[in-house]
């Protein structure tokens, strides 16, 4: 009886993961696309050297960070993927969401400064929450930073 | 204090390199945030509590780096980098470092 109850709880969590997690992910991708359109006037590059430095009025460090988790179903499905090998699409999508979100936040900081360019963009995988999440859930933490340039 | 992660400050001249400055912080997570995160691990999405933790840690490390640069009489810190390391279970370090420099007068006078 206990075993059945346990299985039901696990199945319930997986279904919750599929429904809520999928909806969350789709909504997040829509928000990202909209934010990226709004910020598309800011040019972004990972080149170290700022081109045409003569016209620069202001240059400042800007940062964006995010900690993001995936749902129980995707964590479980990724575990299964370990059995058969191949590309982990679900984990890949989580990394994409985290990097894009951190980038958007960095660009918003640049926008607030009136900058039109961000140079030398770098991404660091942080682990400030020092954990893989409860029950080993997939969780990523990204810090994006670059130099925002404001031209006269 | 001007901070950039490029090697030079566009439009400004570096007159003196004062040396490496650094700042770090080691933060512990706390229980309330952990419980909220446990819920987010079920349904997916951003864990705001941890994003805040990361933001605070980053700010703290940068402030310590700036304090060191001020002690050296710097005008700016260039080539700023961030890195993290796991120190112990339940503790991680965020480390910020860069090169403190003195700048020549600004062409625009400010």
The CATH number of the domain holding residue A69 is 3.30.110.70
Q: Which regions of chain B are under pLDDT 70?
A: 87-91, 107-110
* Cβ neighbours, 10 Å, residue B18: 18
Contact: B46, A128; criterion CB under 8 Å: no
Percent of residues, chain A, with pLDDT higher than 90: 45
| Long-range CB pairs of B12-15, under 8 A, 24+ apart, other chains included | B12/A59, B12/B76, B12/B103, B12/B104, B12/B106, B12/B107, B13/B103, B13/B104, B14/B78, B14/B101, B14/B102, B14/B103, B14/B104, B15/B101, B15/B102, B15/B103, B15/B104
pLDDT single digits (tens) A64-84: 999 888 888 888 888 888 788
Q: Is residue B48 part of a domain?
A: yes
Phi/psi at A113 (nearest 5 deg)?
-85, -5
DSSP B6: S
Q: Is residue B96 part of a domain?
A: yes
Within the 34-93 window of chain B, which residues sit less than 8 Å (CB to CB) from chain A?
A: 34, 37-38, 40-47, 50-51, 53-55, 57-58, 80-84, 86, 89-92
Q: How much is the pLDDT for A96? A: 92
Residue B18 to chain A, least CA–CA distance (Å): 19
Residue B104 to chain A, least CA–CA distance (Å): 15
Highest mean pLDDT among A15-19, A94-98, A108-112: A108-112
Looking at residue B54, which CATH number applies to its domain? 3.30.110.70
Q: Is residue B108 part of a domain?
A: no
Q: Where are the alpha helices (DSSP H) in B26-109?
A: 31-43, 48-71
- Number of structural domains, chain A? 1
Residue in the block written with tokens 């575990």:
A79
Q: How many residues does chain B have?
A: 110
Q: How much is the pLDDT for A137? A: 66
Residue A116: give the domain boundaries.
2-151
**Percentages (nearest 5) of helix, strand, coil residues in chain B:** 35, 40, 25
Contact: A126, B84; criterion CB under 8 Å: yes
Q: How much is the pLDDT for B66? A: 97
Considering only CB atoms, A128 lies closest to which of B41, B44, B54, namely B54
CA A96-A101-A104 angle, to 5 degrees, is 125
Count of pairs with CB atoms under 8 A, one residue in A, one in B: 147
Considering only CB atoms, B47 lies closest to which of A17, A63, A69, namely A69
Residue B23: give the domain boundaries.
2-103
User: ipTM, 2 decimals?
Assistant: 0.79
Q: Is residue B109 part of a domain?
A: no
């Amino acid at each position: 009886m206990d075993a059945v109850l346990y299985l039901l709880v696990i199945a319930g969590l997986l279904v919750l993961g599929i429904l809520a997690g999928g909806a969350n992910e789709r909504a997040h991708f829509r928000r990202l696309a909209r934010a990226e359109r709004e910020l598309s006037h800011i040019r972004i590059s990972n080149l170290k050297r700022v081109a045409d430095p003569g016209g620069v009025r202001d240059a400042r460090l800007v940062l964006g960070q995010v900690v993001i988790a995936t749902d129980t179903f995707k964590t479980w499905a990724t575990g299964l993927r370990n059995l058969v090998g191949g590309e982990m699409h679900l984990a890949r999508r989580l990394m994409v969401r985290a990097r894009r979100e951190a980038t958007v936040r960095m660009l918003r900081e640049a926008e607030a400064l009136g900058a039109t360019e961000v140079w030398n963009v770098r991404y660091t995988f942080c682990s400030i929450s020092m954990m893989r999440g409860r029950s080993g859930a997939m969780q990523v933490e990204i810090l994006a930073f670059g130099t925002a340039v404001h031209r006269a | 204090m001007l901070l950039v992660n490029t090697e030079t400050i566009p439009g400004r001249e570096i007159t003196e390199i004062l040396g490496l400055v650094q700042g770090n912080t080691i933060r512990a997570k706390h229980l309330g945030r952990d419980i909220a995160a446990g819920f987010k691990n079920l349904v997916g999405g951003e864990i705001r509590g941890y994003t805040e933790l990361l933001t605070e840690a980053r700010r703290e490390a940068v402030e310590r780096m700036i304090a060191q640069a001020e002690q050296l009489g710097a005008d700016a810190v260039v080539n700023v980098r961030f890195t993290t390391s796991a120190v112990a279970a339940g503790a991680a370090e965020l480390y910020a470092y860069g090169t403190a420099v003195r700048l020549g007068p600004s062409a625009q006078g400010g």
